[in-house]
Structure 1
Amino acid sequence: MPELPEVQTIVDALKKSIIGKKIKSVDIDCSRVFSQSKVSFKKGLKGKKIKNIKRRGKFLIIDLTENQTLLIHLGMTGGIFFSNKNQSHKKHDHLIIKFSDKTQIRYHDPRKFGKVIKVTSSNINKIPEITKLGPEPLEISQSEFVDIFENKKGRIKTTLLNQRVLAGLGNIYSDEALFDAKIHPLTKTDRLKEKKLLQLHSSIQKILKNAIKAGGSSIDDYLNIDGEMGLFQFQHKVYGREGEPCKVCGAKIKRIRISQRSSFYCPRCQKLSTPP
């Protein structure tokens, strides 16, 4: 699933490619990923111009003229692709927005777990998908981070994946941040001392910034808007490296299941001080 760095990479690239462009036409396939009827959706977009593009958690937010906004969540396998010329419809393309200068963007999602929502811009902070999100990992202060995490129950890996606690982290970057902070993923969140929480705050921000700089991680389906791979997967210390030697100590990386998700860690660098 594309996480914060992948979505931010898409946002940064789209800002350079489509800001100010006028929507000429909209093609839709697979109503499952849309929040309203095809007719209403198309009518609401045609003729509008792209004002701004930003991110909230794992949501891509495209602000249009006339008080309209598009929210796009990429789900497990979704991607946004840009083309300088009109291309024919491809399998798994569920939304094609064509601009007056003959460029276009395509929302591509093989597994159809993503969603596309059109809302009134002035109401964006009232819809559940946005209001339920926690603070942004790259914006949250040290003190706010400690205040939120020091009283949370449950394992730290599960807490980090909770979008109501912190918006944008997923399996990849929570594993990498926990390794960087030398915290076992099964550690109880409320047992982490302030010093360790501050270390985790620093690790999360460092890992995310480095991942954005590298264009995200291309795991499974993720590609940027030009169809190119991100490069941060080559910097992964633990994620997806079960059985391989730790790049720090040489111990074999282990994989366990936490909340139905695979978690990767180094048993030597990330020791569990108390029973889970």
Structure 2
Amino acid sequence: MPELPEVQGYKVYIDSTSLHKKIMGFECRDARLLKKPKADFEQHLLKQELTETLRIGKYLFLKTTGDKILVIHFGMTGRPNYYKDEEDRPKFGHIVLTFENGFHFAFENKRKFGWWNLIDSIEDYKSEHKLSDDARDLSLEDFKASLSSRKTHIKKVIMDQSVAAGVGNWMADDILYQAKIHPKKKVQDMTVKAIEQVFDAMKNVIEVAIAHDAHYSDFPKHFLIHFRKEGATCFHTGGKIEKIKLGGRSTYFSPELQQL
């Protein structure tokens, strides 16, 4: 599933290809991918331009010259594709904008878990969906405040989108690995120093992932992503990586490094 680093890459891609071009066509092969009627998208996007993008977690907001803001969620397999010739349309490009310059913006969505929506206010949307500030922009003070009333294990908390929007499963595992914190550690039992270690690790994992365009193979060798499987060898201790289930999610950690 595209997570924060991948969606950041999509943001950069769209910024460099699809802004400030008049939209002359809108096509959707499957109305289930739209959170509003197709007619609403035609009304609010045709003859308008995409002017600016803003990413909050895994959500991408595209401001327009019209009255509405386009929201894209990429689901499991969503991605943008900017192309010119019709024969280059991607097989799973189920939603396509056509620009005045003859180029097209396709939303590839093979498994159809991604979707588009139209909204009036980003701040209202954040509030309605209980989204924190993007994890990349989150302040230490706000992070600490979000954790102050939590009474569950740290992994579940940092994956809560109201705490750190954009942190997904593999990221949470690597954050806790870098911070040397056991994923089952209860937040109320953590010291201020431990919370700060998690925050610093979160910022580092995000920036490394973005700097490497989410190409996991290029991450530093000490990142858990390289040996994130049961029985693999921990980079730091030489011990075995263990797998448990937390909140229904597969969780990987190094028991020797991340002691409970």
Question: Does the pair score TM above 0.5?
Answer: yes
Q: Does 1:241 align with 2:229?
A: yes
> Partner of 1:134 in structure 2?
132
Unaligned stretches of 5+ in structure 1? 219-229
Q: Does 1:260 align with 2:248?
A: yes
- Output the TM-score relative to the length of structure 1: 0.86
How many residues in Structure 1 have an aligned counterpart in Structure 2?
A: 259
Letter in 2 for 1:255: K
Q: For residues 79-118 of structure 1, what are the structure 2 equivalents within 5 Å?
A: 79-87=79-87, 89-118=89-118
Q: For residues 106-255 of structure 1, what are the structure 2 equivalents within 5 Å?
A: 106-120=106-120, 123-127=121-125, 131-217=129-215, 231-232=218-219, 236-238=223-225, 240-255=228-243
Shift of residue 136 of structure 1?
2.2
Q: Distance in 1 between matches of 2:116 and 2:60?
A: 10
Retained in 2: the 8 A contact 1:156–1:189?
yes
Distance 1:112 1:47, change over 3 A: same
Q: Distance in 1 between matches of 2:27 and 2:71?
A: 17
Please state whether the residue corresponding to 2:16 is helix, strand or coil: helix
> Partner of 1:221 in structure 2?
none
Distance 1:195 1:173, change over 3 A: same
Deviations 1:191-239 (A, max 9, x none): 1110010111110001100100111156xxxxxxxxxxx8549774147
Please state whether the residue corresponding to 1:151 is helix, strand or coil: coil
Please state whether the residue corresponding to 1:244 is helix, strand or coil: coil
Shift of residue 151 of structure 1?
2.8
Shift of residue 257 of structure 1?
1.0
Q: Distance in 1 between matches of 2:132 and 2:58?
A: 11
Distance 1:179 1:101, change over 3 A: same
Q: Does 1:10 align with 2:7?
A: no
Percent identity, please.
Answer: 28
Letter in 2 for 1:237: L
Retained in 1: the 8 A contact 2:131–2:162?
yes
Retained in 2: the 8 A contact 1:33–1:112?
yes
RMSD: 2.2
Q: Distance in 1 between matches of 2:59 and 2:220?
A: 22
Letter in 2 for 1:248: H
> Partner of 1:222 in structure 2?
none
Q: Compare relative contact order (CA 8 Å, sep 6+) and give the higher one, 1 or 2.
A: 1
Shift of residue 131 of structure 1?
4.8
Retained in 2: the 8 A contact 1:82–1:106?
yes
- Output the TM-score relative to the length of structure 2: 0.91
Retained in 1: the 8 A contact 2:69–2:119?
yes
Q: Distance in 2 between matches of 1:148 and 1:237?
A: 26
Unaligned stretches of 5+ in structure 2? none
Retained in 1: the 8 A contact 2:143–2:163?
no
Retained in 2: the 8 A contact 1:34–1:117?
yes
Letter in 2 for 1:45: L
